[in-house]
Structure 1
Amino acid sequence: ELVMRTLSRLFKHLFTTGLASRRAFPNATLQDIQTVIAEGERQHRAEVRMIIEPSLSAQAVLSGMSSRERACELFSDYRIWDTEENCGVLVYINLADHQVEIVADRGVGRVIAAKDWTAICNSMTRGFAHGDFHDGVLAALRQLNTLLQQHYPDDGSRQNQLSDRPLML
């Protein structure tokens, strides 16, 4: 059973290529994502970074790496934790696993409940399940911005510390 699940997951990752990412997230969608992130960051103090990855390496899949573990690794690798108020938020999308993960730094993580992050992830994956990547991701980002504005409002001291442009790996 475990071997079959691992092989099935491995094939999904081997056959989900960068082309799948570009189809799901064409340049116009990436630009709209950047715009929504920037608009939100004018209303709250958090720093939102989105990373989209078509698939994991075969080695990562065979070692059992989860999307959550990968998101935490990228949170560190891209120094999303390295913000003035510990306010970095990573939205990670793994297309092969059909997973969305949010990793929040401790400043933001203290004020927002895990169930709220989960609701945003679920909102995004519901849109993805219907092939609606553009509207699904934008609606979830707006939901995220509203949540951050309620719990981490702008106080006028904010400087943009992380790129608003989504990163396609």
Structure 2
Amino acid sequence: MEIFNQEEQEKVVQAISLAENRTSGEIRLVVERHLNGKEAYEQAKSFFEKLKMHHTAQRNGVLIYLATDDHQFAIIGDIGIDQKVPADFWESTKDSMLVHFRSGDYVSGLIEGIDQAGLQLATYFPRREDDVNELPNDIYFG
């Protein structure tokens, strides 16, 4: 059984593309069924390294991690964006996403998180004429 159907995947990838069209920042999404013995935050940090999220020019990558069957998730940003957003940004974004997740609507929750991250990235790292998409927009299934 797949985690998201094709239409759901396309909605999420489109949200990432739309968010990234306004910023030089990069947003990645990692989805897997189980945490495999780690905490969500630790798993997110591991994928952040594995996917080379810290290799963006302005250190402005954001990673959203979701373990569907374990009902755990995390959202983390690289040092460039983390130093600029309000202190409670990551937690308040998680709270907004959780409203959707609690009703079983993972797609809307992910889009909510992507939109909020995208707004912050656009504020602090607006898109420039010479911007290139440094990382893929597709969902990474762990």
Structures share fold, TM-score greater than 0.5: yes
Conserved? CA contact 1:51–1:92, under 8 Å: yes
CA deviation map 1:113-162 (0-9, x unaligned): 34111111221122011011222222332222122212222232321011
Residue segments in structure 2 that go unaligned for 5+ positions in a row: none
Aligned equivalents of 2:13, 2:66: Cα separation in 1: 15
| Structure 2 partner of 1:45 | 24
**Structure holding more helix per residue:** 1
CA deviation map 1:37-56 (0-9, x unaligned): 11111101111000011103
What amino acid sits opposite 1:162 in the alignment? L
| Structure 1 partner of 2:88 | 115
Q: Structure 1 residue runs of 4+, over 6 Å off?
A: none
The answer to whether the aligner puts 1:138 opposite 2:111 as a matched pair is yes
What's the % identity of the aligned pairs?
24
| Larger Rg computed on CA atoms | 1
What displacement does 1:104 show?
1.1
What displacement does 1:87 show?
1.4
RMSD value, Cα: 1.5
Correspondence 1:35-114 to 2 at 5 A? 35-57=14-36, 61=37, 65-114=38-87
What amino acid sits opposite 2:6 in the alignment? N
TM-score, scaled to structure 1: 0.77
What amino acid sits opposite 2:21 in the alignment? R
Conserved? CA contact 1:37–1:48, under 8 Å: yes
TM-score, scaled to structure 2: 0.90
